[in-house]
Amino acid sequence: MNALEGIKVLDLTIWQQGPMTTAMLGDWGADVVKIEGPDTPDPGRSLIRYETDDKPNAYFETHNRNKRSLVLDLKTAEGRTVFYKLVEDADVVVQNYRPGVGERLKIDYERLKQINPRLIYCRASGFGLKGPDAERPALDPLAQARGGVMSVTGEPDQPPTRTFGGFADQVSAFLLSYGIALALFHRERTGEGQQVDGSLLQGTLAVQAFNVTSYLMTRTYGGSPIPRISRKLTSPLWNHYKTQDNKWVMVGMPQIGRYWPTFRKTLEEATGELVGPEVMSVEWLRMNAVELMELIPKIDEIFASQTAAQWKELFQKHDLLIEIVQEYADLSTDPQVVENQMFTEFQHPTFGTLQMVSPAVNLSETPGSIRTPAPEFSQHTEEVLLEAGYSWEEIERLRSSGVVGHRSEESKKSPA
């Protein structure tokens, strides 16, 4: 049995933040029904970054695996009637409309909880549900900008930069699925449904909680008013270096007094050269900025003398913390990724065996899994409606009037 087996989710979301939220629920067995309008499919369906059409849409597959597709026109009274019927025995509704749209469509939480008081209603937004910009549209890079991520990313003498596309979307999705799970747990104990909300902006703040809280408490960032610190002014034990084979290694040892002597001797073992003071501490770093600016380039030269693999072997021999900066192409053969099954395979009906990133947390008795590909547009419309109690005759009438499924040319001409 899967952890969320028996949980029914109505997914009204598009793009990435909302769809990833519901995909994670589907990974653990929730029955997720993706609801799209006849004329408004999820734009992610067309986001294909290939020159040919013989490759899968990785964007849409990632965010919509383990779902079924229902096409339903919520702009019509009859379409809303169908939706209300689905809500009767649903556990979760997730939407990422701008604030106010749910109310205009008459599918807001206050209305739906009258139909199903046990309902968990999740709202994914850009900037939160209150405030002057609550109704403004937001996408991932805008949240990275407003949430401060870009201000602390990159070198101080370079323009601010994003981390990667989808960072704010993914973090927000993880937190929203966590919030839904908490609400389901609360309902299990009390029978009480509730509304869950989270935003791209709140997610970017949450993932920076220590850094932002540090600033709030001290009005500085790591002891310096400059948010982005040059790697030449960063601890030599918390830094990255380019190696002989043009790869980079990351050294990460925050306990300077503990690791510096061994680090220094290891560099000497590799090159015969001793660099820096015999003893180093956080206080030394603070009081010797000029010396530090001179020290890091010397260490750069030392790391450039050997390959990344040689440095990793040498550092691990002395129990020093180092990792090679890997590219995506390296990940599929990384033994830790392989042994811990961080990638998974499933059979796609069109593209055959595909490899994807696995669900991001492991449960020993009820593990998550990717079982089905992202659904085709309207693929499960009849199936979902039959399960809801509609007859084939009723479904055909709804289809011919343009309420469900693909629009026929005749229904397109009919008034809504």
Provide the edge-to-edge strand list for the sheet that holds 8-11.
67-71, 31-36, 8-11, 92-95, 120-125, 194-199
Please report which confidence band the pLDDT of residue 416 belongs to, taking 50, 70 and 90 as the band edges. Answer: very low
CA distance 220 to 320: 30
Q: By C-alpha distance, which of 381, 368, 369, 374 is closest to 350?
A: 374
Q: Say if CB 107 and CB 81 are below 8 A apart.
A: no
214 burial type by CB count under 10 A (0-12 exposed, 13-18 middle, 19+ buried): middle
Average pLDDT, the chain: 93
What pLDDT is attached to residue 82?
98
Mean pLDDT score, 329-341: 96
CA distance 76 to 20: 27
Residue 156 has pLDDT above 90, yes or no: no
**What percentage of the chain exceeds 70 in pLDDT?**
95
* Extended strands (E) in 223-291: 238-242, 248-252
Burial profile 168-179: b = 16 or more Cβ within 10 angstroms, e = fewer: bbbbbbbbbbeb
Please report which confidence band the pLDDT of residue 51 belongs to, taking 50, 70 and 90 as the band edges. Answer: low
What pLDDT is attached to residue 15?
97
User: Taking the complete model, does pTM exceed 0.85, yes or no?
Assistant: yes
Please report which confidence band the pLDDT of residue 230 belongs to, taking 50, 70 and 90 as the band edges. Answer: confident
Please report which confidence band the pLDDT of residue 50 belongs to, taking 50, 70 and 90 as the band edges. Answer: low
CA distance 123 to 196: 6
- State phi, psi for 214 to the nearest 5 degrees: -60, -40
CA distance 20 to 205: 19
Q: For residue range 366-410, what is the model confidence (pLDDT) as tens digits?
A: 999 999 999 999 999 999 999 999 999 999 999 999 999 987 665
Q: By C-alpha distance, which of 57, 38, 40 is closest to 48?
A: 57
Q: By C-alpha distance, which of 180, 248, 145 is closest to 11?
A: 180
The β-bridge partners of 37 are: 40
Q: By C-alpha distance, which of 47, 60, 9, 101 is closest to 348?
A: 60
Q: Alpha carbon of 376 to those of 64, 349, 356, 381: distances in Å?
A: 10, 11, 19, 10
CA distance 89 to 388: 9
CA distance 354 to 57: 11
Q: Say if CB 96 and CB 17 are below 8 A apart.
A: yes
Q: For residue range 128-152, what is the model confidence (pLDDT) as tens digits?
A: 999 999 999 899 999 999 999 998 8
What pLDDT is attached to residue 52?
62
Long-range contacts of 211-215 (CB under 8 A, 24+ apart): 211/152, 212/148
What pLDDT is attached to residue 232?
82
Residue 412, both tokens? 């397109």
Residue 260, both tokens? 């510096």
Note the helical H segments in 116-166: 140-146
- The residue behind tokens 């610190």 is 229
Residue 296, number of CB atoms within 10 A of its CB: 19
In 3-state terms, what secondary structure has residue 194? strand
What pLDDT is attached to residue 221?
59
Please report the DSSP string for 43-64 in residue order.
Answer: GGGG---SSSSSS--HHHHHHH
CB-hemisphere CA count at 13 Å for 195? Answer: 13
Residue 223 has pLDDT above 70, yes or no: no
What pLDDT is attached to residue 415?
43
Residue 224 has pLDDT above 70, yes or no: no
Q: Say if CB 64 and CB 374 are below 8 A apart.
A: yes
Q: Which of 151-165, 226-240, 247-261 has the highest mean pLDDT?
A: 247-261
Backbone Cα Rg of the chain: 26
Residue 248 has pLDDT above 70, yes or no: yes
Domains of the chain in sequence order? 8-208+342-413 (3.40.50.10540), 235-330 (3.30.1540.10)
Q: Say if CB 177 and CB 32 are below 8 A apart.
A: no
Q: For residue range 34-49, what is the model confidence (pLDDT) as tens digits?
A: 999 999 999 999 987 6
Q: Say if CB 63 and CB 23 are below 8 A apart.
A: yes
The amino acid sitting at 320 is: L
Q: Say if CB 337 and CB 326 are below 8 A apart.
A: no
What pLDDT is attached to residue 225?
47
Q: Which of 106-115, 181-190, 228-237, 385-394 has the lowest mean pLDDT?
A: 228-237
Residue 87, number of CB atoms within 10 A of its CB: 21
Residue 102, number of CB atoms within 10 A of its CB: 22
Please report which confidence band the pLDDT of residue 222 belongs to, taking 50, 70 and 90 as the band edges. Answer: low
Q: By C-alpha distance, which of 176, 101, 171 is closest to 143?
A: 171
- The residue behind tokens 């009438």 is 397
What pLDDT is attached to residue 204?
97
